[in-house]
Structure 1
Amino acid sequence: MPSPRRPLPLLPDHQGMTHEARNELRSLAGIAAPLAVAQASQLVMSLAASVMLGRLSGSALAASGLCAVFIQVLVVVSQGVIAGAHPLMAAARGKSETEGQGGDDAAYAFGGAILASLILSLLSVAILLNLPAILQPFGVEADILHDVDQFVTMAAWAVPAILWIMPIRLYFSVSGKSWLTMASVAIGAVFYVPALSTLTFGGFGFAGYGLTGAGIAYTIAWWLIAAGLTAYSLLTGHLPASTICNASRKATQALRDVWKIGWPIALIYAAELGMTLALTLITSGFGTVAIIANQIVYTLNNIAFNPIIAIGQATTVRVAYHLGAGRPAAARLAGNISLMTAAGLMAFFGALFFLASRQIIDLLLGADTVDSAAIEPLAQQLILILAGFLVFDGIQSAANGALRGLKDTRVPMIVDLCGYWLIGLPTAFLLSLWLDFGVIGVWFGILASITSVACCLLLRWTYMTGRAVASADGSVVTRESRGVLRKMISPT
């Protein structure tokens, strides 16, 4: 029986990094950078809406904020399910290229992702159209409920477009064409800002429609992004029509495979959003100073975490691609490079926030803000806590992405649920309310949850890849280890 093929030795180049590591870092950046720009474009759309609708009225801003929270939750959880197709696509692509097969094996998972997006779109729209009735039992004021109805009646129809983009985004990230998603979302953001202003306040011969116009602008922008991306991709052949035809043939079967991997990812997202919402509610009871300081640091956290999301998605692609090609050692290298990159980038942000905390607070706060003398020192303390756990936040995100590349989502789901809800939330509750640390206790709870999750996921990654590499090298020959490796490599 021939001995297992071992990877070529890793030869260091003149800068001390192996050739393989440099190539892997380049591939990771090629996928992550366009995805990060797309994420930033969506952030610009959100900030523009907040600024403009705040000029409309306080009720309008509150209503749009409530709608934004529900839309985000539904979209993010739905995208978690659809993301189950990501490692399937990447593994299929790696196997196809290694074995020299023709065709497009990624079309199978693509079909499951499309069907999932259609089903989840219908469910999400149904929930959003009934949002005023859902909010009414919670004592929301009548004026705000009216504004919620005005906005969400139109904005709800953007969700099918957003979820339609998700399978295409996954497909392009696997095929090395993430720039298409980046370009389409960036162009859409450029269109959205003037459209939002015009349809909300009027101009260019149009009458302003208030919140209804804002909802219309939101929906039009996302449908233009989805339609433009789809049409351009089909016309240029970046997304072959044959791929869509092949995807539809086994979409129902593929949906089951996507669901098996995707539902734990969706639950992880739901756990993160749920803890954030719960801690926001706790913070709201500590007064205006605490709320503003919390919002400043939460904004900084979002800015730092934006590129890390893209790194995690790129890691899933690279790890699954190498496993599909039968190269577990290369998959381990890809994950390790991602972990180091994410940790290094977050260390940079942490140091920046720490050293420039006063200047950052002055920039975000404004000199004429009421209670600024009390807000600034509290915000500085929270920034110190944020800087302390940013590295762990980068590690947990990259490790989650790497483990998804191994199609290992259920254990990470349990780790995340325990970390957020059994460690983070009780710690925050104990410190902030029982021990009277206030909002500082809330952020120590976040630190406890992120740190524990990061350490556990890092151990899980080390264990899983160690078993896979040992099995491929022949040093572990148990039935269990072979089964683990087969499960990782199999595209379906």
Structure 2
Amino acid sequence: MRATFALAWPLVVAQVAQNAINTTDVIMMGWLGPEALAAGTLASTFIMPFLVGGIGLVGAVAPLTAQARGARDIKAVRRFVRQGFWIGILTALVLVPLILQVRTIMGWLGQDPALAARAEEYTQIAAWMLFPGFAIVVLRSLLSTFDAARVILLVTLVGVAVNALGNYLLMFGNWGFPRLELRGAAIATILTNLAMFAALLSFVLTHRRLRRFHILMRFWKPDWQKFHQIFALGLPIGFTVLAEVSLFTAAALLMGRLGTDEVAAHAIALQCASLAFMVPLGVGMATTVRVGIAYGRNDRAGIGYAGWSGMTLGTGFMIVSCLAFLTLAPFIVRVFLDPTKPENLNALALAATFLIVAGIFQLADGVQVVAAHALRGISDAKVPMIVAIVGYWLVGLPVAYVLGLVVGWRGVGIWIGLACGLAFVAAILLARFAWRERLGLVKIVI
């Protein structure tokens, strides 16, 4: 428990800080006006599935380097990191041209042409952020594996400040810089990611424990065996993450059919749930590493200790957030909307109701994310991917649609559907980790 907590807490805070970078962008786009905020939000929403899918793919470096550490195979660590960079570059080369077609794709989706044109201003530049962004994921995986998560936290906090300063200078033309508005925000995003990548890479290349891996040695040399291992594990992880993200995107679209107040209330409740989710997500990342190390050294008992301690920590926090949402929902939502304005009262009431439902599914959300990460530590990703697709798209979304739009429970029905999808996935992944031995998931590695 102590080892998991020591590795997890910097990752948790780093995830919150990463979220703060996005929040800073939203706030400062709002200073440009509602049209700029809408266009920037549309652009960010468009980029997000490409980004999280690629992060899931490249994120396979974490369990594989952890397994290599457990097996004390220094050469394999270098090979996995090097090929992780390769996959990150190739993935960005595939995704960036797709992102650059944002105006055409938005036209197909029936979005306002003027809004799509402004969104294109942002995405034409921000799309290139994928190159340093995926490389950062590779370095974070290496640093987490070797207990250097505090460096990730420090660099991410610096990234928050760099991004805010870049926005201030380039979006609004302060201190003699040109006023570039949304283009300025995109440039600041790229500069922030480049700065974070440079800082992490410098640390890895100079730190006495990490420089021995020589991660850039013969960088140009292909290693198709490790490339295939990363790709085979990372592809289902990417689709798993996409399945969950797309469920919440679909829920937002369903809310859009109910009215403005429902959409606003949904956004408030989702922001609160997302913030709470950062804790089990960080714990899950730590659990992947600790399970992977135990798996690499063929420590069957250690796999269990690492997995169950991670789930205990993640679920323990979600019990606290569950109680907070159930008892303090009316007070929490007032942070987002002024309760003294009559036009906000309906949205506030809806948000408080949604947050109560979110409180109920906090436990399921915590279990599913940590269980999924524990299974990744033993290189089990294909079946969890199928479970996620079935749970989110064949259970969660249909229940949300039926209860919300057919039965007439409206927003509450949609959130109950989200809860059902998460509970389905949590139950199966928890059982799969518990039965890992009888299912033959624990094998001798490396």
* TM-score category of the 2 structures, normalised to the smaller one: over 0.9
Distance 2:355 2:169 in 1: 38
Task: Identify the residue that residue 4 of structure 1 maps to in structure 2.
Answer: none
2:356 matched to 1:380? no
Alignment partner of 1:341 out of 303, 313, 318: 313
Does the C-alpha gap of structure 1 residues 105 and 253 become closer, same or farther in structure 2, counting only changes over 3 Å? Answer: closer
Distance 1:290 1:485 in 2: 46
| RMSD, matched Cα | 1.7
Task: Identify the residue that residue 365 of structure 1 maps to in structure 2.
Answer: 337
Contact residue 36 and residue 118 of structure 2 kept, 8 A: yes
Distance 1:451 1:457 in 2: 10
Alignment partner of 1:154 out of 111, 125, 143: 125
Equivalences for residues 430-469 of structure 1 within 5 A: 430-464=402-436, 466-467=437-438
Larger radius of gyration: 1
- Mind listing any 5+ residue stretches in structure 1 that lack a counterpart? 1-24, 469-480
Contact residue 399 and residue 458 of structure 1 kept, 8 A: yes
The amino acid across from 2:255 in the alignment is T
Identical-pair percentage: 27
2:445 matched to 1:490? yes
Distance 2:157 2:224 in 1: 33
Contact residue 297 and residue 382 of structure 1 kept, 8 A: yes
**Residue deviations 1:413-439 (CA, integer Å, cap 9, x gap):** 111111101110110010011111111
Distance 1:209 1:249 in 2: 40
Distance 1:141 1:152 in 2: 16
- Mind listing any 5+ residue stretches in structure 2 that lack a counterpart? none
Task: Identify the residue that residue 153 of structure 2 maps to in structure 1.
Answer: 182
Task: Identify the residue that residue 245 of structure 2 maps to in structure 1.
Answer: 273
Distance 1:246 1:405 in 2: 28
TM-score (norm 2): 0.96
Task: Identify the residue that residue 216 of structure 1 maps to in structure 2.
Answer: 187
**Residue deviations 1:312-333 (CA, integer Å, cap 9, x gap):** 1111111111111121111111
Distance 1:46 1:87 in 2: 27
TM-score (norm 1): 0.87
Alignment partner of 1:206 out of 171, 177, 180: 177
**SS of 2:336 mapped into structure 1:** helix
1:291 to partner: Cα distance: 1.1
Distance 1:248 1:207 in 2: 39
The amino acid across from 2:15 in the alignment is Q
Instruction: Say which is worse superposed, 224-233 or 86-95, in terms of deviation.
Output: 224-233
Contact residue 289 and residue 371 of structure 1 kept, 8 A: no
**SS of 1:371 mapped into structure 2:** helix
Distance 2:179 2:223 in 1: 43
User: Number of residue pairs matched?
Assistant: 445
Does the C-alpha gap of structure 1 residues 430 and 205 become closer, same or farther in structure 2, counting only changes over 3 Å? Answer: same
Distance 1:110 1:365 in 2: 45
Distance 2:58 2:237 in 1: 9
Does the C-alpha gap of structure 1 residues 89 and 246 become closer, same or farther in structure 2, counting only changes over 3 Å? Answer: farther
1:250 to partner: Cα distance: 4.9
Does the C-alpha gap of structure 1 residues 61 and 325 become closer, same or farther in structure 2, counting only changes over 3 Å? Answer: same
Alignment partner of 1:258 out of 213, 223, 230: 230
1:246 to partner: Cα distance: 6.2
1:304 to partner: Cα distance: 0.5
Instruction: Say which is worse superposed, 203-212 or 408-417, in terms of deviation.
Output: 203-212
Does the C-alpha gap of structure 1 residues 233 and 370 become closer, same or farther in structure 2, counting only changes over 3 Å? Answer: farther
Contact residue 128 and residue 152 of structure 1 kept, 8 A: yes
The amino acid across from 2:426 in the alignment is A
Equivalences for residues 400-419 of structure 1 within 5 A: 400-419=372-391
Task: Identify the residue that residue 29 of structure 1 maps to in structure 2.
Answer: 5
Task: Identify the residue that residue 363 of structure 2 maps to in structure 1.
Answer: 391
Distance 1:210 1:324 in 2: 49
